[in-house]
Amino acid sequence: MNCARPQRGQPSARPSPSTTWTGIRTSSPGGLAQRAATALALVGEAPLLIADEPTTGLDRDLVDRTVDELRRHAADGRALLMITHDLAAAERIADRVAVMYAGRIVELGAAADFFGAPGPRHPYARGLLDALPERAFTPIPGQPPELGALPDGCAFAARCPHATAACEAVPEPIDGVSCHYVPTDAQARAQEPADA
């Protein structure tokens, strides 16, 4: 993928759908600066918008407005890739969810299944939702490994309640989930949200 950026002093050309993408990133802690960056990115009508933590540092009202604008971009038939730790924003925007741990995608699937029923299937992804105040409010124990010193097997093993000897090998993705643990039917039902 190419990235066309106008040089300083040159007039900015309208982006060509085949050669450009628009990313959002700002180091400013100011919510208004963050939102201005989002608005500028949306003006170009790029076919693919990459939003990197677009709601970080915003208060709830600005988060809601930013989410609405991004959702409208996607609803207009254009693509949106949002990188975020804000699961509430992801739930409102995403059609599909990819959960990454230690640099790898560990779960990929439909947002409706992920945030509703049957819910996340990977232990790390489930831990992310369980850590939310509006859910179990239970943090995942431990810390993620250093990316430069990953273990040979599953990178989540040291924090995983389901780790077994099989987890000494990196799991291959099956049906969108990279994990050796397969819950029984009863365990899967117990993991479903109470209101599902």
Strand bridging mode 79-83 / 48-52: parallel
Q: Verify binding: residue 121, ligand SF4, rule CB under 6 A.
A: no
What token pair was written down for 129?
A: 């939702």
Q: Verify binding: residue 140, ligand SF4, rule CB under 6 A.
A: no
Residue 22 has φ and ψ, to the nearest 5°, of: -125, 125
Longest dimension (CA), the chain: 64
Residues 68-87 binding ligand SF4 (CB under 6 A) are none
Q: Verify binding: residue 49, ligand SF4, rule CB under 6 A.
A: no
Which of 74, 163, 183, 191 lies at the binding interface for ligand SF4 (CB under 6 A)? 163
Q: Verify binding: residue 108, ligand SF4, rule CB under 6 A.
A: no
Residue 160 has φ and ψ, to the nearest 5°, of: -95, 130
Size of the site for ligand SF4 (CB under 6 A): 12
Q: How far is the CB of 21 from ligand SF4 (least distance, A)?
A: 32
Q: How far is the CB of 173 from ligand SF4 (least distance, A)?
A: 11
Q: Verify binding: residue 50, ligand SF4, rule CB under 6 A.
A: no
How many alpha carbons fall within 13 Å on the CB side of residue 50? 9
How many alpha carbons fall within 13 Å on the CB side of residue 125? 26
Sign of the alpha-carbon dihedral angle for 182, 188, 192, 196:
positive
Q: Verify binding: residue 177, ligand SF4, rule CB under 6 A.
A: no
| 3-state DSSP assignment of residue 48 | strand
Q: Verify binding: residue 125, ligand SF4, rule CB under 6 A.
A: no
The site for ligand SF4 (CB under 6 A) is made up of 123, 154, 156-157, 160, 162-163, 167, 171, 179-181
